[in-house]
Amino acid sequence: MKIVGIDLGTTNSLITFCDNENGIKIIPNRLGKNLTPSCVSVSETGELFVGEIARERLVTHPELSVAGFKRYMGTGKKIALGSREFLPEELSSLVVRSLLEDAEIYFGEKVDEAVISVPAYFNDAQRKATKRAGELSGLNVGRIVNEPTAAAIAYGIEEKANHTKFLILDLGGGTYDVSLLERSDMVMEVRGVSGDNFFGGNDFTEELMNMAADKFGLDIKEMTHKDRAILFKSCDEAKKLCGPHPVIPVSAVLEGKLRETEIKSDDYERQCKELLIRLRKPIEKLLHDTKVKIDEIDSIILVGGGTRLSFIRTYISRLILKFPCFSINPDEVVAIGVGYQGAMKARNKNIKELILIDVCPYTLGTSVSVERGNGEYESGHYLPIIERNTVIPVSRMATVSTLTDNQREVRVKILQGESRLSQNNIFLGELTAAVPPAPAGQESVEIRYTYDINGILEVIVMVLSTKVTKKIIIEQNPGQMSPQEIEDRLTELAALKIHPRDEEMNKLLLARGERLYEENLGDERLYVAQCIETFERALHTQDRDAIKHAQVVFAQQMDAIDSNIFRG
């Protein structure tokens, strides 16, 4: 039985297998190329195109072509392609099917099973959507493997030293992952993951697009879809010249006119300053979570086409104080690692068996009410039960009590995310347990979350007085809230009654507190929450002197927490 490895990327996809004589081999597509663009297009007559042709049609027929749909996996978002609508996993299945046809022609026989890679920061819905994409193409998806883990396997499978720590930065076209892995003997342990599912190399291309449009005297927002596609492709190619050349030439036929300009590489790098900060933040978060210092990292691995930009490599080198490894083509390294995984699953005798220990990438918890003083409670606060980067499989338990006299039921909302407020996290499901009527606080419910290696969450709720239990297994696809949806929700909340907390300084301090809550875990996270709640109580008094004093205290508390982890 042949098991192939598939790197299903935002920009390009690849398929690999283990050759008994030559190790892992990339199967070329029908054009003889290793990379198949993750693009789909449909002709006016309904004929589908996948890969290189579809990528070309992104420019010529933008309304009939689509790319970058991986960003929306698991969200339920419908993507229009001509007169049709597709889910992102349906579009992805067309890419997988194209890869599969290439492999079956190469082998001269049918392929039934595959291992597919996903960004480490993909949530459960996104992982299940990826698996469904493989299944829609007719494959049995034997395993989902994290892209950074696959890259570490490709680089470290023959590593002899024990306790080798790999920091993997995977900057694809539309997603960004940072993972820390440690290898000991033939065990590869994922110590932690971080990332941004709505950030990638395409953002750097768009920055160059904005600069070029300004030079041309054009407003990108007013350009046609087709002209934007043309300019994007031109800038995507042109940005590769940044670094080796002092200027970046950009030329494109826009509005029927050839336009040419030159942009200084230094100016482009300065323009990307905010993007580099965005590149840095997940690294800070990961090292903070894992409590690993910079000098403890043995090797940095760069993955994804986005890492080809010279100033990104320079920035990472200065940040981590080491030269990154990129001896393996960054566009192919994940596919090679996934090929190893496929070979291990097939029990290939020529491949060393490697044990993988993974983590839960997101915090899982429930919604509770917290005391505000004077016997008053405020609902909608998040109670983490399994915190992010916990080694899986894992089982954790929390106990909650009734809030009101003669309360007859406890409703347990199952949530995923990092926000202090329940409404900003992802709703996964709900359980309701009946409790005997009693004075407030006398009836308690035990909530147990169990998360396994396949990304399936089991929740058991037990009423302690009656021992009655209820159980739910979360296998449905809850969707993924985009940054825009979160922003829209916060805008709705901001429209409520004007209050001292809405003053600029208060808003800034609260936003900083929320950020630090999301970045920290355990006791530090609890401390930040307590500081926020104390500050909010001061705001509720509407006493300006008390608020001014609270501002100073809260700022000092946040300064103490918000230390720079790169100092060590």
> How do beta strands 257-264 and 247-254 pair?
antiparallel
Q: Kindly tell me if the per-residue pLDDT of 568 is higher than 50.
A: no
pLDDT bucket at 504, cuts 50 / 70 / 90: low
pLDDT bucket at 564, cuts 50 / 70 / 90: very low
The phi and psi torsions of 186 (rounded to 5 degrees) equal -110, 35
Query: What is the three-class DSSP state of 214?
Result: helix
**Per the residue annotation, which of 102, 124, 170, 177 is the catalytic one?**
170
Around 186, how many Cα atoms within 13 Å sit in the side-chain half-sphere?
A: 6
User: What pLDDT is recorded for position 563?
Assistant: 60
User: What pLDDT is recorded for position 269?
Assistant: 94
Q: Kindly tell me if the per-residue pLDDT of 224 is higher than 60.
A: yes
The phi and psi torsions of 14 (rounded to 5 degrees) equal -140, 160
Report pLDDT digits (tens) over 166-183: 899 989 888 898 999 888
pLDDT, mean of residues 547-562 = 89
pLDDT bucket at 265, cuts 50 / 70 / 90: very high
Q: Kindly tell me if the per-residue pLDDT of 67 is higher than 70.
A: yes
User: What pLDDT is recorded for position 161?
Assistant: 60
pLDDT, mean of residues 363-387 = 90
pLDDT, mean of residues 476-499 = 39
Q: Is 7 a catalytic residue?
A: yes
Report pLDDT digits (tens) over 273-309: 999 999 999 999 999 999 999 999 988 988 888 888 9
Q: Kindly tell me if the per-residue pLDDT of 428 is higher than 50.
A: yes
Q: Kindly tell me if the per-residue pLDDT of 421 is higher than 90.
A: yes
pLDDT, mean of residues 513-524 = 79
Own/partner long-range contacts of 238-246 (Cβ < 8 Å, ≥24 apart): 238/208, 239/204, 239/205, 239/208, 239/268, 239/309, 240/308, 240/309, 241/265, 242/268, 242/269, 242/309, 242/310, 242/311, 243/309, 243/310, 243/311, 244/310
Q: Kindly tell me if the per-residue pLDDT of 215 is higher than 60.
A: yes
Q: Kindly tell me if the per-residue pLDDT of 493 is higher than 60.
A: no
Closest by CA to 252, choosing from 244, 243, 261, is: 261
Gap between the Cα atoms of 527 and 153, Å rounded: 38
Which tokens is 173 given?
């076209």
**Per the residue annotation, which of 102, 124, 147, 331 is the catalytic one?**
147
Q: Is 298 a catalytic residue?
A: no
Q: Is 559 a catalytic residue?
A: no
Q: Kindly tell me if the per-residue pLDDT of 502 is higher than 50.
A: no
pLDDT bucket at 235, cuts 50 / 70 / 90: very high
User: What pLDDT is recorded for position 382?
Assistant: 96
**Per the residue annotation, which of 7, 90, 236, 331 is the catalytic one?**
7
Q: Is 147 a catalytic residue?
A: yes
CA distance between the termini of the chain: 50
pLDDT, mean of residues 220-244 = 88
pLDDT bucket at 216, cuts 50 / 70 / 90: very high
Gap between the Cα atoms of 3 and 484, Å rounded: 39
pLDDT, mean of residues 120-142 = 83
